A and B are shown apart, each in its own frame.
Chain A
Amino acid sequence: MPMDTPTAEPDAPETYAVPAGRLETDRFVIPAVTIFILLLLGFFMLFPLTSILRLSFFKGGHFALHNFTLINFHKYFTTSYTLNALWHSLYVSVATTLIVTVVIFFFAYALTRTTIPGKTFFRNLIMMPLVAPSIMQALALIYLFGRNGIVTAHLLHTNWNIYGPVGIIVSEVLYCLPHAFVILFTTLSAVDIRLDEAAESLGASPFKVFTRITLPSAKYGIFSAAALTFNLTITDFGNPVVIGGNYNVLATEIYAQVTNLYRFDLGATISIILLVPSLMAFMLNYYISRKTFSMISGAAKPVIPPSRPFKKSAFLSYCSLLSFSIIVVFATVIIGSFVKTWPYDWTLTLAHYHFPSIGGYSAIWTSLWIALVVGLGGAFITLVAGYVMETRRPFLKQPLYLLSVMPAAIPGLVMGLGYILAFNKPYYVFYGTPWIVVICVIISNFTLGILSNISSLRNIDPSIEEASISLGGDSLRTFFKIIFPLSKVAFFQNFLYFFMRSMTTISAVIFLVSASVHLAAIEIIMLDNDGWTASANAMCTCIIAIVLVMLGILHFVSKKIGRQTSSLVPVDA
């Protein structure tokens, strides 16, 4: 977590005698890099968005005053099934948000405020859904609770099945757990637990302590987690497309309008409509998260008092139950990929790993290469962007910051649609190559990358950088010799983040796959669409395996490096 280290006097370096050459580089390098990143974000984020705006508000997408029209919006709001997609989206997202926030609050509470055993295990397990594409939950739920699911049809013998809103909500809950957990865990471990103790020793009942002290002190974290969950759910495409049945949501409706009816204008219009709630949730989150960090005090790390046996066993079984459901999801998909015919024939087989598609294993390799490039490129460019923003003389800091946090508010599907509308011209040579996928994934995930870099840069003692400058190092040398080595752990974390997103993203790239670029995550959807559910599970398992291997490698590497450099980092994050 970021903590404000006392800032050095702003004009301290001016008093040193500095070589003129160094100042020249500095004067040139920082603005040049800033402008480069601004142009990059402008061209690969704002420009595709304008294509979408143009197509939805202007006849034939031709920008001119007399072409301005609201006919697409009129059509959207007067057609019952497209309008319903909005209500469906809101219903599913609000329900998911409520469930996730409550469920994960108690989970995070158990991990930060009680003395249950196995905390590391629980913490790692709740993060597991991050390593798989968002479609995985839906695949597992169909095997468990589908019309021929092992639980519904074979254990309970009911006709009930999970297709529709219930299925979407359950799979979105499982998908959003880790994201919400990170926020609430950080908040709850930062809030001073001694307040609770003080209240308790003054005679307040446990219930009163909880409602009057614990909840209010974590309220910003709760709102922030809720906003993030809402945003993730309303923009998700993978789960609703698989388990939604005939229940359409905005994301699936965009896809349906474009691919079934060739109505790019209506697809663009629905994109705008989807952008509104997700932008609102994002801004709420952004506003709140600024408050959260100002509330956190540095002194809040006392020992947790031993919990009462009842409380301990209640929370232990609660955490076990939640962890169990995550394990079941993973086990279902993995086992489902190795058995002959779920749930009739449990003979083990590798038959589903002979992918009945053109992509097959080449899709996995392409995905892996792209993910490596995205990981390196994304981690590096967000580090550079973070550095020029946090440098002592930033250039155009506010516009850069605004553009950097914007991608988080743009649904992947909207970004992807914008890319085909904007870049499918003969002179954009990267269209139809893997590079457009690389760029799209980096830009879509820019926000989290840069935010984590900024917070890690703030943790570097400014005096180290000052020392470098006073010894004659310019910004370039300071960056490569001081900042980059010191940010290595953060760099690896970011690499992992970009790598995982690239391996698992569906919505941002579904419009961008082509005859020469097949991607593993998209193959899952295509296999499932054609009814090859077991092979879809197999492809999903391959992605999970690759991400876990990468996780293991990086864990090992960053542990080794972390030990060497930790002494230089003054604040223990």
Chain B
Amino acid sequence: MMKKTAALFVGIGLLALLFAGSAMAKQKVVVYTSLENEEIVDYLNFAKKELPDLDIQAIRLSTGELGARMMAEKDNPQADCIWGWAVTNMAGFVPKKMLKPYKPTGWDKIPAHFKDPKGYWTAMDLYAAAFVINTKVIKAKNLPMPKGWKDLLNPAYKGLLIMPNPASSGTGFLQVASLLEMFDKQYKNKPVAQNKAWGFLDKLDKNMGQYIKSGSKPAKLTAAGEYAIGCSFAFVYSSLKKKGFPVVMVLPEEGAGYELEANALLAGAKHEAAAKKFLNWAISKSAMQRYAKFKLGVTYPGIPGPKDLPALSSIKLAPMDFPWQSKNRPKILEVWQQHFLK
């Protein structure tokens, strides 16, 4: 009887040891990211080969969740660097002194409009809003194919549309922001709440089946046949197409909203040297070529995007005003919630 009790305590001791001693030899770096899980697994496998002396620990959270996490940890950062996070959110962190300027090796090769002049952040790729459409559902319900945002107001689509909640999803935010900027040329000179685009969004709301937390889920639920049209982004389309789902992609004819995903060094990083090594790798040509397997466009010049997506140069992009978006993000979200959350 006592033997068993003793064994129990030895067990507890062993467990404690297991927690304490793991991965001592390598340099640890803690990475926060909002890239899609699917691509991260691919990139990280590659990074392990290219950076054998780093023990890369990463967590993937949605754009909003990741921001909240870093805000909460502001006084005691648990991560060393950010990898692939929306620039709109990133720019808000600069005045809060949460980022530390760092110009990674090869920084000069990245075009000026894809990086912060002081080196607070460096963008790695661009992703654009896109409609993912289930052809089976469209055929079964005899619906027309939409060309742009305005076509989505057609009452025939009632309840068959799905888009991300801009508060939790970066994709959702860039969609709303692009509409605010495209449908009201005077957006800069008036309060956010009076923007003409809200009228459009109110009408769109009548057709909307659901606002969902993540930006890729509208495409995935549409592919699964739950909705006819999912407002999502381009890369998730190509991965669904490869899996054999009956989907096609349409880029809104008014102009596709887009967002840059950037990397940055966190102020107060506990493993700064390792983080710098990782950030150097993250904008290297070989890493960028890897990103280009998934992303619509990468910031390293001269690397073509995936074959199953249209070339970036052929896409009509919305005029995105990142400084304005970043400054007005809280207000935009507040107005959005007042309109569409009941």
Contacts and interface: CB of A to CB of B under 8 A. Distances in A.
Given A260-B165, A260-B333, A424 B19 contact: no
Interface string B204-234: 0000011101101101110011110000000
Interface stretch (B55-63, B144-152, B279-287, B294-302): B55-63
Query: What's the interface size class on A, roughly?
Result: 35 or more
Contact of A531 (B1, B219, B225): B219
B19 A435 contact: yes
Contact of A146 (B58, B211, B226): B226
Given A358-B60, A369-B15, A531 B221 contact: yes
Contacts of B335: none
Given A81-B341, A148-B226, A529-B213, A432 B41 contact: no
Contact of B12 (A376, A426, A485): A376
Nearest to B55: A516
B311 interface: no
A81 B342 contact: yes
A358 B217 contact: no
Contacts of A516: 30, 57
B75 A425 contact: yes
Query: What's the interface size class on B, roughly?
Result: 35 or more
Contact of B40 (A79, A81, A358, A533): A358
B18 interface: yes
A262 B41 contact: no
A514 B15 contact: no
A484 interface: yes
A358 B62 contact: no
A259 B64 contact: yes
B167 A256 contact: yes
Interface-central residue, A79, A358, A514, by most chain B CB under 10 Å: A358
Interface string A250-271: 0000001011111010000000
B31 interface: yes
B68 A262 contact: yes
Nearest to B92: A262
A357 B11 contact: no
B72 A420 contact: yes
A520 interface: no
Interface-central residue, B38, B69, B338, by most chain A CB under 10 Å: B69
Nearest to B57: A515
B226 A258 contact: no
A514 B270 CA distance: 15
B37 A531 contact: no
Interface in B289-342: 330, 333-334, 337-338, 341-342
Nearest to A417: B72
A320 interface: no
B58 A81 contact: no
A529 B227 contact: no
Nearest to A344: B225
Given A373-B12, A531-B214, A518 B72 contact: no
B211 A246 contact: yes
Contacts of A431: 76, 78
B175 interface: no
A258 B15 contact: no
B71 A262 contact: yes
A530 B37 CA distance: 8
Interface of A: 79-81, 84, 146-148, 153, 159, 163, 245-246, 248, 256, 258-262, 264, 341, 344, 356-358, 369, 372-373, 376-377, 420-421, 424-426, 431-435, 480-481, 484-485, 511, 513-516, 518, 526-527, 529-533
8 tightest A-B CB contacts, nearest first? A531-B220, A260-B167, A147-B226, A81-B341, A515-B59, A259-B68, A515-B57, A260-B64
